[in-house]
Amino acid sequence: MRLENKKARQDLFSRLKIAVADIIFKCEREENNSLDSSLVNCVYNISAIKKLLKENPISKIFFTSRFVEKEFKKHFQDLLRKYPQIELITLPSPSPRYAAMSKAEKTEKYSLFLPKLKQESP
């Protein structure tokens, strides 16, 4: 399935009951480097994440890198204590720069954890 635009992605995520949020609201990058480790002056998206968790029955939070998982655990400790039932799952980075796994291996790993789309009856 190819999702051609933002609306198609939003519709799919709604059907799957998936929310996507960045834990970093804004930041700068050292030397225009795209590595997570080059992020500086981070401002975390604490109020939006709090609101998301408060207003929705969240059972799992997925991270797309160990860096993001570590930052979440460091800067959102109060939410971890408030919602201990939420399962934290770290997936392999989808970035092509993460070459420890092939795209097929990453797809397989993601498919183990992400919800399946139920086919609608005609």
Write the pLDDT tens digit of every residue in 25-54.
999 999 878 778 888 999 999 999 999 999
pTM of the model: 0.79
- Please state, in angstroms and rounded to a whole number, the distance separating the CA atoms of residues 94 and 1: 17
For 44-79, letters b (16+ CB in 10 Å) and e give bbeeebeeebeeeebeebbbbbeebbebbeebbeeb
Q: Which residue ranges of the chain lie beneath pLDDT 50?
A: none
